[in-house]
Amino acid sequence: MVKREPAGASALAAGGQAAAATAGVQLSRLRWVVLLLFSSYSLCNGFQWIQYGSINNIFARFYGVSAFAIDWLSMSYMLTYIPLLFPVAWLLDKRGLRLIALVGSALNALGAWVKLGSLKPHLFPITVLGQVICSLSQVFILGMPSRIASVWFGSREVSTACSIAVFGNQLGIATGFLVPPVLVPNVDDAEKLAYHISIMFFMTAGVATALFILVVIVFKEKPLHPPSRAQALIQSRPTQEYSYTQSILRLFRNANFVLLMLTYGLNTGCFYALSTLLNRMVIHHYPREEVNAGRIGLTIILSGMAGALISGVWLDRTKTYKQTTLAVYIMSLVGMIAYTFTLSLGHLWVVFVTAGMLGFFMTGYLPLGFEFAAELTYPESEGTSSGLLNVSAQIFGIAFTIGQGQIMDHFGTKAGNLFLCAFLLLGTIMTAFIKADLRRQQANLGNEQTRLQGRNQIMDYGTVACNPNSINSHSCSLTHTQRK
């Protein structure tokens, strides 16, 4: 007797394949520990990025160099990222999260210790070396938030997790604005100044070392079970099917992603320039207000963290990536315009208010870009897509910092800030042309529907096979015969 394939068997097979790919989806309790640890050493690295720029005038006088030379200590972070993105992104794809975390936290601690050898005015090259090592660490950090969120968190919390991961770096920048003006006062005595700088450097090195030890002990590659159906499908894909070079080529052929990469670079580049030059702007209008300049920077970052958290929760609930990104971009432009025309009014409290409004949207935009990119480029690696976003940000950040700095020197701070406003307007227009092709959400919804359809087909087939009054009742007897 020839065996016949029962009705609905193909659907049953499809459901079985989906079930196999998504079997064992489960959230790990360790995910929050991993996220907190990453955010902590990212915080330390962000602090070391801006610790010079937040008291630019003090370090320039201590080392006997120009303000532009101190600006380059911040821009070194942007410069080293560009050529090293692709090797580090390749390493992330091939070796995974744990190795990247180990190297990033180790370089962060090493750079902090090197800076302790630069406590004399003639040792500026040593502090440059320490900052360059820290900038290498940043290459192993900036592309991690969306990857950690995808590998460790479920589909309903992935945007919130990405926002929290970005928080670490932003909180570090906030601390970098707040702490250096307090620890390193504007005194004329070089020995006293060196003593205060040493306190800051020792504290940073101690914290960075402790975090590296925790990463060695605690940080894991991935949870035992995939946290989402989209992640389960990626993990079930054979390794030989993935080509890093082809992945990059596919990303550059994705028009929506290319537009996002440019607009993300424009927005974040403006943020980098604003952060690097903030001390110079404020001191120009409010002399000897280094502490308040740092507090204004703190206000920008803290309000941005609130904006990022709200945006992350909103995205997890609504999945309105395009609309939210465009709205935040428009408000970043409005905030920049408000800050530009209130900086020179002579009232610091007004500057605090407008800077807070600017930070809420401009800094809050950062995790939005990562998550929108992950949606537009699924199933490509989040490390690669976020890395390309960061390269764009570093390129624009260097160009904007140098350009705005030169404009400020020759035409004043208002002209320099209007320079940034023009590019934010361009970014807003370009964002409006990005199509909301949410591939990751489609994968999650499609897998859920396939799984349910497979389950329904199993139930329907069971009913058909065992119902004696069915039109196809012979299939029941055939099934029993085959079982015998």
Q: Is there a contact between 72 and 194 (Cβ–Cβ < 8 Å)?
A: no
Q: For the packed helices 255-285 and 67-95, what is the interaxial angle rounded to 10 degrees?
A: 150
Report the distance separating Cα 64 and Cα 60, nearest Å.
6
Burial class (CB in 10 A: 0-12, 13-18, 19+), 326: middle
| Cβ within 8 Å of residue 236, ≥6 positions away | 20, 21
pLDDT tens-digit profile of 22-34?
557 777 788 899 9
**What is the pTM for the complete model shown?**
0.72
Angle at 426 between CA 423 and CA 429, to 5 degrees: 155
Stretch 295-311: mean pLDDT: 86
**Cα Rg of the chain, angstroms:** 26
| Cβ within 8 Å of residue 412, ≥6 positions away | none
Report the distance separating Cα 270 and Cα 285, nearest Å.
20
Residue 457 has pLDDT above 80, yes or no: no
Which pLDDT score is estimated for 273?
A: 92
Q: How would residue 153 be classed by pLDDT, with cut points 50, 70 and 90?
A: confident
Q: Is there a contact between 215 and 105 (Cβ–Cβ < 8 Å)?
A: yes
pLDDT tens-digit profile of 363-379?
878 878 888 888 888 87
Which pLDDT score is estimated for 447?
A: 55
Which amino acid does the sequence have at 197? Answer: I
Q: How would residue 4 be classed by pLDDT, with cut points 50, 70 and 90?
A: very low
Angle at 80 between CA 328 and CA 84, to 5 degrees: 95
Question: Chain-wide mean pLDDT for the chain?
Answer: 83
Report the distance separating Cα 227 and Cα 180, nearest Å.
40
Locus of tokens 């601390």: 175
